[in-house]
Chains A and B, each alone.
Chain A
Amino acid sequence: MALIEANGIVQEYDLSGPEDGAPLVLLHELGGSIQSWDRCMPAVAEAGRRVLRYNWRGTGASEKIKGELDVATMCDDLAALMDAVGLSQPADVVGTALGGGLALAFAARHPAKVRRLVVSSPAIGGGDGLGQMLRTRADEVEQSGMRPQVEPSLKRSYLEKYRTDPQAFTAYRNRWVANDPVSYASHNRMLAAMDETANLARITCPTLVIGGEDDMLLTPAMMEPIAKAIPNGEYRLLPTGHFLPVNTPDVWANEVLPWLAE
């Protein structure tokens, strides 16, 4: 992992795989980090991809956030990072949960940088009452830190039934707790204020939208209309939860990598 300045901030990233491999960008979820993809990486390496992972502004060792954040800034962060690390060809962009929402927003704003797009359980805005939950959580973490929120949050996004690797879950939980609460609050408020619905029609690349059978936060019924609103959108329902690559890395590898290679 390395640090680089791009779009006016220091960003932590990891670039791996053969230099001439087909470029792939992975966006982690809210509360997650580069390591959220660790268990997917063997399959990514086997597929010969050149892969860029990064920690969002405010996440991991990337520069922390003071004040407000909007989705356009987050998209510009990624565009500048891709330039800074030399990913000049259009890349496949893959994200999960809020990382999926960001991937969609990125494809709408920087279409020349995206070849194919895969989003699982994308969070594209604070509608359907989600906004209030996010704002409340933002206030609470700023007040009391991450720790009191970890159980209630992971109970929904990292279901018991997917905690089959206890070591992986403990590591995930520890990393989650170690987030900067102020930056995490900014991410929550950004999502609460976001509405990417109108941008979906502007996404022109082939896009796979994945719903998780066990995702109680962004249910399959909410995901299918997103796929339908994207001109080249395709929808798939998979046996997983809200954090597809974290909950079920095998499902992710078996479904996403072949679809990208089509």
Chain B
Amino acid sequence: MPWIEANGVTLHYSLDGPEGGKPLVLVHELGGTSHSWEPLMPRVVAAGHRVLRWDWRGSGLSEKIRGDFSIDDMCADLAALMDAVGFGAPADVVGTALGGGVAIGFAARYPAKVRRLAVSSPATGSPGGNERIMTRAAGVKKDGMRPFADPSLTLSYPEKYRTNAAAFAEYRNRWICNDPDSFAAHNLMLGGMDESVNFGKLACPTLVLSGVDDPLRTPASVKEIADAIPGAQYQELNSGHFLPVYSPNMWADTVLPFLAG
């Protein structure tokens, strides 16, 4: 995977699929990287998409964050990255968990860059307080990622979805290898976010998915988001918070036809 400078930072990204393919941007989850999408890449590419993935500022091998980072910064990074890699036409934008919240934030800020939007378990803010997020941010800054891996993944990657033991071990290892300070900055970004004010502005066709086993963004709370987005479709799936990570086929069966529609 190459690096490119965009919006004043070095971003690690990849492009897959045919050059003339339908442009698609994949936005990973909090604590994830471009690798989070690996299991579903064969089907995405087979569907004829030209796919842009990137490691968020602070994630994977992208430049790390010092100081504050906001959803505006995150969206500006993606807009600049799309320009830098030649994604000139409106793209389908897909994200999961906080990546879903980022995708929604992006569509509200850069509507001309988005054709269709598909989000699963979108984290668009921290209703009902953000104590867990704030505590985790302070904790990783002090003690690193490792002590927080199991408490976090218990919620986002439930036991019943760890059927592929090697895939889970790899995911957990990658999670632990995050830069704690950047991860904390992402948590604080989520803590400071409230994209609900933007739901009514979204004009593109939108699919909102929830997972019945998602304790972090419950189906009821996700459905409220779908209801607030004009014309959005809503669907509940037998999965969890990181749906595309451990249910790639279910994700592909649902999202790819929507994008083709």
Q: Which A residues have a C-beta under 8 Å from some C-beta of B?
A: 3-5, 10, 12, 60-66, 143-147, 171, 174-175, 177-183
**Which A residues are in CB contact (< 8 Å) with B65?**
145
Q: How far is A180 from B181 in the complex, measured between Cα atoms in Å?
A: 9
Please judge, given known A-B contacts A61-B60, A171-B2, A171-B3, whether A178 and B12 are in contact too, CB under 8 Å: yes
| Chain A CB within 8 A of B178 CB | yes
Report the minimum CB–CB distance from B41 to chain A (whole Å): 17
**Which A residues are in CB contact (< 8 Å) with B173?**
3-5, 10
Q: Which B residues have a C-beta under 8 Å from some C-beta of A?
A: 2-5, 10, 12, 60-66, 142-146, 170, 173-174, 176-182
Report the minimum CB–CB distance from B152 to chain A (whole Å): 15
27 pairs of residues in contact across A and B, judged by CB atoms under 8 Å: A3-B173, A3-B174, A4-B173, A5-B173, A10-B177, A12-B177, A61-B60, A61-B61, A61-B174, A61-B177, A63-B145, A63-B176, A64-B144, A64-B145, A66-B142, A143-B66, A144-B66, A145-B63, A174-B4, A175-B3, A178-B3, A178-B61, A178-B62, A178-B63, A178-B64, A182-B179, A182-B180
**Which B residues are in CB contact (< 8 Å) with A64?**
144-145, 177-180
Known: A10-B173, A171-B2. 20 other contacts (CB 8 A): A3-B173, A3-B177, A10-B176, A61-B61, A65-B144, A66-B142, A66-B143, A143-B66, A145-B63, A145-B66, A177-B10, A178-B3, A178-B12, A178-B63, A178-B64, A180-B179, A180-B181, A182-B179, A182-B180, A183-B179
Q: How far is A5 from B10 in the complex, measured between Cα atoms in Å?
A: 28
Q: How many A-B residue pairs have CB under 8 A?
A: 70
Closest to A184 in B: B64
Closest to A55 in B: B177
Report the minimum CB–CB distance from B11 to chain A (whole Å): 9
Contact check, A177 vs B63: say whether CB atoms are below 8 A apart.
yes
Contact check, A66 vs B177: say whether CB atoms are below 8 A apart.
no
**Which B residues are in CB contact (< 8 Å) with A3?**
170, 173-174, 177
Contact check, B145 vs A60: say whether CB atoms are below 8 A apart.
no
Closest to A66 in B: B144
